[in-house]
C-alpha cells in the first residue's frame, strides 16, 4: 500500500472502533460517519428485528429518517438477498436500486447481513465498494446483536419506552385509518350511489388499503413481542454450549405454551438475566446442576434459577449486582436465597407492561417528570441512592436532587410516606 492507502485504512479501522464502542442509540450515526467517505449518501437506515423497541436506527436527512416506516424497510428487506447467498465479489444486480422510503421513490443501496439486519443508504452517489461495505455491515450487525443479547440497562429502559410509544402510535393509526376506510366502503356500497365504476374502483382501493394496514399492524406486533415458549426455546439454545463443553447440567422447566406473549425487551432481559446468573453460579466450586424455570402470571415474567453449589451468593455479590441493574431497569424484583452447603436460588419478577405515563397517573404524582417518576418508584421500592444511580446511569448527587423534588412535590417527608403516596396515587 502507498501512504494514502495506509492512512485511509487506519482511519477506517479507527472509525469502526468508534462504531463498536457506540451504544445502540448512537450506532447509526457512528456508522454513517465511517461510510460517508466511502460512498456519499443522504441518510443511513438500519432495520433489525433484534431490537424490539427501536427496530429502526437512523442518521442523516431529517425528512428521511423521521418519515421512513417499518413497512417500507420490510419491503426492501424482502427484495434483498443475504450476503451468504451470493458471491461477495459479484455485482449486486439482484438487489433493489430504488424503493419507497419516507413516502417517496428514491435511489438506494441495500445490504442484508447474515443476522437478518438490513442496511439502507438513500441517494448513494459515486462508485460503491459493495464488498467493503457489505463486510463492514456484517461487523456492525453482529455488534448490534451482541449488545441486544447482553441487554444493558440503558438499552432496556429505552426499548421499554419506545415499545410503549410505538404501541400507542400504531393503535391510533389503526383506529384512524380503519374508521376512514370503513366510511368509504359504506358510502360506495350505498344504493343511492349510481357511479358504478367509481364505486367499484374505490371499493377495491379501500379494501387493499385495509389489508395493507392490517399487515403493518401485525408486523409491528411481531416485532414488539415474542411468545413465551419461543423465547424460552431460544434461551435453551443459548445455554447448550455450557453442557457441550463440560459445564454443569442445566435442567429446564418449560413455561406454559399458551402464556401471554412477552414484550421484546422483557424476553431479551429474561434471557440475559438467566445467562448471566448461570455464569455466576458456575463460577462457584462444586456446582454440578442448575435448574432454570420460567412462568408467566399474566402480568409478570417469573424466573427461578437454582443450583446445588456452596450457597454463597448474596444480593451484594458483584455478578448479582450486575443482574440487579438489568432487573431494576425494567422495574422488576430480584431476590436471592442461599443456604450454605445446599445451594443458591434466585427469583426474578419482570413486569410485562411499561410503567404508567404522566397522562395515566393521577393526583400529585402526575406532576412528576419521567425521570422523577423513575427515581420515585425505585426509592419507594426500597432502593438506596447508590443503587438508583447505577440503575438510571446518573450520579448519586443527581438522585438526591430528584428525591428532594419528589418529596416536595408529593408533600411527604420520608420514603415510607412516598411509597404510600405512590400506591394511593396510581
pLDDT tens, 151-163? 666 666 656 655 5
Question: Phi/psi at 349 (nearest 5 deg)?
Answer: -125, 120
Name the average pLDDT for the chain.
78
**How large is the C-alpha radius of gyration of the chain?**
25
The pLDDT-based confidence of 202 (bands split at 50, 70, 90) is low
Mean pLDDT of 100-117: 92
pTM for the full predicted model: 0.52
The pLDDT-based confidence of 244 (bands split at 50, 70, 90) is low
Is 3-150 CATH 3.30.450? yes
- CATH topology assigned to domain 358-425: Arc Repressor Mutant, subunit A (1.10.10)
Return d(Cα 228, Cα 267) in angstroms, integer: 8
Return d(Cα 34, Cα 328) in angstroms, integer: 35
Cα angle value 229/231/234 (rounded, 5°): 110
Give the cell for residue 86. 451470493
pLDDT given for residue 90 in this prediction: 45
Return d(Cα 47, Cα 111) in angstroms, integer: 11
Q: What percent of the chain clears pLDDT 90, i.e. is strictly above it?
A: 14
- CATH topology assigned to domain 228-351: Heat Shock Protein 90 (3.30.565)
Query: Sign of dihedral through CA atoms 276, 279, 285, 287?
Result: positive
Give the cell for residue 379. 426509592
Q: Where are the domains of the chain?
A: 3-150, 153-224, 228-351, 358-425
Give the cell for residue 230. 419461543
DSSP-derived letter for residue 258 is T
pLDDT given for residue 237 in this prediction: 82
pLDDT tens, 302-326? 999 998 888 888 888 887 887 887 7
Return d(Cα 287, Cα 281) in angstroms, integer: 7
Return d(Cα 18, Cα 103) in angstroms, integer: 32
Amino acid at each position: 500500500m502507498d501512504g494514502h492507502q495506509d492512512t485511509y485504512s487506519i482511519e477506517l479501522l479507527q472509525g469502526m472502533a468508534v462504531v463498536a464502542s457506540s451504544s445502540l442509540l448512537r450506532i447509526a450515526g457512528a456508522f454513517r460517519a465511517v461510510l460517508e467517505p466511502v460512498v456519499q449518501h443522504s441518510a443511513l437506515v438500519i432495520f433489525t428485528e433484534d431490537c424490539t423497541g427501536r427496530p429502526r436506527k437512523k442518521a442523516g436527512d431529517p425528512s428521511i429518517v423521521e418519515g421512513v416506516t417499518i413497512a417500507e424497510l420490510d419491503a426492501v428487506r424482502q427484495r434483498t438477498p443475504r450476503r451468504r447467498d451470493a458471491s461477495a465479489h459479484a455485482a449486486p444486480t439482484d438487489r433493489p436500486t430504488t424503493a419507497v422510503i419516507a413516502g417517496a421513490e428514491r435511489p438506494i443501496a441495500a445490504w442484508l447481513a447474515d443476522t437478518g439486519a438490513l442496511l439502507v443508504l438513500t441517494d448513494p452517489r459515486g462508485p460503491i465498494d459493495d464488498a467493503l461495505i457489505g463486510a463492514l455491515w456484517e461487523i456492525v450487525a453482529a455488534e448490534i446483536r451482541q449488545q441486544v443479547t447482553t441487554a444493558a440497562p440503558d438499552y432496556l429502559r429505552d426499548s421499554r419506552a419506545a415499545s410503549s410509544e410505538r404501541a400507542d402510535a400504531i393503535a391510533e393509526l389503526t383506529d384512524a385509518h380503519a374508521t376512514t376506510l370503513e366510511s368509504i366502503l359504506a358510502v360506495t356500497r350505498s344504493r343511492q350511489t349510481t357511479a358504478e365504476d367509481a364505486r367499484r374502483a374505490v371499493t377495491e382501493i379501500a379494501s387493499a388499503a385495509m389489508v395493507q394496514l392490517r399487515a403493518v399492524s401485525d408486523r409491528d406486533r411481531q416485532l414488539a413481542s415474542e411468545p413465551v415458549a419461543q423465547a424460552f426455546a431460544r434461551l435453551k439454545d443459548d445455554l447448550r454450549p455450557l453442557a457441550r463443553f463440560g459445564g454443569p447440567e442445566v435442567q429446564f422447566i418449560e413455561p406454559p405454551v399458551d402464556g401471554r406473549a412477552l414484550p421484546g425487551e422483557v424476553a431479551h432481559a429474561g434471557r440475559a438475566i438467566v445467562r448471566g446468573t448461570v455464569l455466576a453460579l458456575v463460577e462457584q466450586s462444586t456446582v454440578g446442576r442448575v435448574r432454570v424455570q420460567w412462568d408467566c402470571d399474566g402480568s409478570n415474567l417469573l424466573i427461578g434459577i437454582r443450583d446445588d453449589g456452596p450457597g454463597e451468593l448474596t444480593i451484594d455479590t458483584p455478578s448479582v449486582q450486575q443482574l440487579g441493574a438489568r432487573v431494576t431497569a425494567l422495574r422488576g424484583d430480584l431476590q436471592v436465597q442461599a443456604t450454605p452447603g445446599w445451594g443458591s436460588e434466585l427469583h426474578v419478577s419482570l413486569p410485562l407492561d411499561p410503567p404508567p405515563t404522566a397522562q395515566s397517573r393521577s393526583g400529585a404524582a402526575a406532576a412528576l417528570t419521567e425521570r422523577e417518576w423513575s427515581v420515585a418508584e425505585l426509592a419507594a421500592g426500597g432502593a438506596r441512592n447508590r443503587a438508583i444511580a447505577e440503575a438510571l446511569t446518573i450520579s448519586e448527587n443527581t438522585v438526591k436532587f430528584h428525591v428532594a423534588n419528589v418529596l416536595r412535590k408529593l408533600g411527604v417527608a420520608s420514603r415510607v410516606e412516598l411509597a404510600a403516596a405512590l400506591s394511593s396515587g396510581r
